[in-house]
Structure 1
Amino acid sequence: MDLGLKDAAAVVVGGGSGMGFATARCLAEDGARVAVVGRRPAVVDEAATALTECGSPDVLGLVADITDTQQVQRVFGEVAARWNGELNILINAVGPDAVGTFDDLTDEQWRSAFDSGVMGMVHCVRSALPLLRNAKWGRIVNFSAHSTQRQSVILPAYTAAKAALTSISKNLSLLLARDEIMVNVVSPGSIASDALLGWAESVGVDGTDPYVLMAAIDEHFGHPAHLPRAGLPTEIGPVVAFLASRRNSYMTGANVNVDGGSDFT
């Protein structure tokens, strides 16, 4: 399906790897201009090269820590200068890195989870809004998580940050409806991301086999999907790309589960 993304201007925060990169790749393959924002220069450069090779007419690789307001403002200043003050798509794919039970987590870990998982998104949306409002059409897609609907005892800070992000996204969908800027959330389930593969390795599981990985998730967490395997980042990208496109002409304020099937809605 042609998503109507040719020459659209998109920023993918956290687009250097994993689900963020899979999303950026979908946008690039459909002809969008793509700016990838990340903290690691080598990862950002590698992603930018790959996006150019797969068809994007204009790629920016931008290094920034999104918990720092000034760095975020600098990044979107560069985007504005490159693309004449306009932006069609903002994707926020950064997730907090906070694992541990409530008893174990420190104040610093709680603050870090909210800085990266909530305030980072706030910084990016705030800086992007003038550019989105200048464009003829605009979309925002934020990454939440299915743990906001099905808890895990080792992810209280991560889940709390994602729940806050989901709530803010709903509020933004109401605020920005008057501008016809659509705001949606995607909640991935058990996806073979770097974080999940790292966990699998730590418990001696072959995470490269999605069926083995899902069996381990069932054993350790009791959170199996209806499908008998874990998902892949490449299965998230097309969903996000649709939500970010002009083909999505009437969906806003939604939380879309991409989780292989679950008992919640």
Structure 2
Amino acid sequence: MDLGLQDAAVAVTGGTAGMGRAIAECYARDGARVVVLARTESAIDETVTMLQSVGSPDPFGVATDLSRPDTVEAAFDEIASRWGVLNVLVNTVGAGASIAGTFDDIDDARWGEAFDLMTMGAVRTCRAALPLLRKAPWARIVNLSAGSVQRQSPRLMAYTAGKAALTSLTKNLSQTLAPEGILVNTVSPGTFITTQIHEFLADEIATRGVDPDDDVEIAAVLQDMFGHALGQLGRAGLPEEIAPIVTLLGSRRNSYTTGADVNVDGGSDFR
């Protein structure tokens, strides 16, 4: 299927690891120009090399801290000077293991971190991207929320609350931008094997003596701890399994879906 992405201008936050990297690669393979926004220069450089190798005609990266409005604005200023327009913004950034925990575990600073990165981070990128999206002949925004918004986990309280706020923001933004033809959706992953999962499971991995590089062993730990969240397929997802869904929603081919929250969870929504 031709998604109409050849030479499209695409920005992916958190685009150097996990789902963000897989999404950036998926766009690149369809011929899009891709910019990745992330914190670490070395990871950006390595990702840009990969994007070029798989077909992106003009990939680049910008070191960006989404908790700092000045770096977000500077990143989109650079995109503006290079491309002039933006067709797609994908926000994949989540918070790491530092905000995991039950209600009794989480202090004000960690609550603030959850909302500042996952909710306000998207607010900042959407605000900075909108002038460029409005200049494009077609434009899409896709924000990654979380399956735990629908199936609450007491061990992920702040994370889930931040993602729930992001889902609400996205729904409202879809209504705001619909008259301009800018489509805005969320995709909600279930349990996926990502860097964040490794961070979250670090203590459990060490206790069990599990090989942190063995996805099969990691999946077994997830099954023990979150069996109810692994869905009808009975396994965790891989980043490359969510990328095509995000790419379709954030493409010219998607001309009618907006304000949706799409589950990619191995069927766990039906349990």
1:242 aligns with 2:243: no
> Hey, what's the Cα distance between the residues in 2 that align with 1:162 and 1:63?
23
Q: What whole-Å deviation, never above 9, does each CA across 1:146-199 have from its counterpart, x for those lacking one?
A: 010111111110000000000000000000000110000000111110121344
Q: Is the 8 A contact 2:223 2:235 kept in 1?
A: no
Q: 1:263, CA displacement in angstroms?
A: 3.3
Query: Aligned pair count?
Result: 264
CA displacement at 1:230 relative to structure 2? 1.0
The alpha carbon displacement at 1:202 in A equals: 3.0
CA spacing shift, 1:145–1:207, aligned 2, 3 Å: farther
Write out per-residue CA displacement over residues 67-122 of structure 1, whole angstroms, 9 at most, x where no aligned residue: 111111110000001012x1100000000221111101111111111110111100
Equivalent in the alignment of 2:225:
220
Give the 3-state SS of the residue equivalent to 2:119 in structure 1.
helix
Corresponding residue of 1:139: 140
Q: Hey, what's the Cα distance between the residues in 1 that align with 2:131 and 2:219?
A: 42
Aligned with residue 263 of structure 2, among 257, 261, 264: 257
Question: What TM-score does the superposition give when structure 2 sets the normalisation length?
Answer: 0.93
Distance 1:62 1:188, change over 3 A: same
Alpha-carbon distance in structure 1 between the residues aligned to 2:214 and 2:236: 9
The answer to whether 1:229 aligns with 2:235 is yes
For 2:4, give the aligned amino acid.
Answer: G
Cα distance in 1, alignment partners of residues 5 and 102 from structure 2:
42
**Conservation of the 8 A alpha-carbon contact between 2:100 and 2:200:** no
The correspondence of residues 49-128 of structure 1 with structure 2, limited to 5 A, is 49-84=49-84, 86-97=85-96, 98-128=99-129
Comparing 232-241 with 204-213, greater Cα deviation is found at 204-213
1:8 counterpart residue number:
8
CA distance in 2, matches of 1:65, 1:263: 33
> Using the alignment, how far apart are the partners of 1:26 and 1:10 within structure 2?
11
Distance of 1:257 and 1:113 partners within structure 2? 21
Question: Residue deviations 1:4-52, cap 9 Å, x none?
Answer: 1000001001101110010000101101001100011111111111101
3-state SS of 1:263 partner: helix
Letter in structure 2 aligned against 1:254: A
Deviation of residue 216 (structure 1)? 3.0
Equivalent residue letter for 1:229 = R
Tell me the equivalent position of 1:151.
152
The amino acid across from 2:60 in the alignment is L
Cα distance in 2 for partners of 1:71, 1:120 equals 11
Give the CA deviation at 1:242.
Answer: 0.4
Residue identity in the other structure for 1:126: R
Letter in 1 for 2:123: V
Contact 2:231 2:268 in 1 (8 A): yes
Rounded to whole Å, the distance in 2 between the matches of 1:223 and 1:91 is: 25
Q: 1:154 to 1:132 in 2, by over 3 A?
A: same
TM (norm. structure 1) is 0.95
Contact kept, 8 Å, 2:14 with 2:21, in 1: the verdict is yes
Question: C-alpha separation between the residues in 1 aligned to 2:95 and 2:216?
Answer: 26
Percent identity over paired residues: 52
**Runs ≥4 in structure 1, deviation > 6 angstroms?**
none
Is this contact kept in 2: 1:173–1:182, CA < 8 A? yes
Amino acid at match of 1:159: T
Q: Give ranges in structure 2 of 5+ residues lacking alignment.
A: none
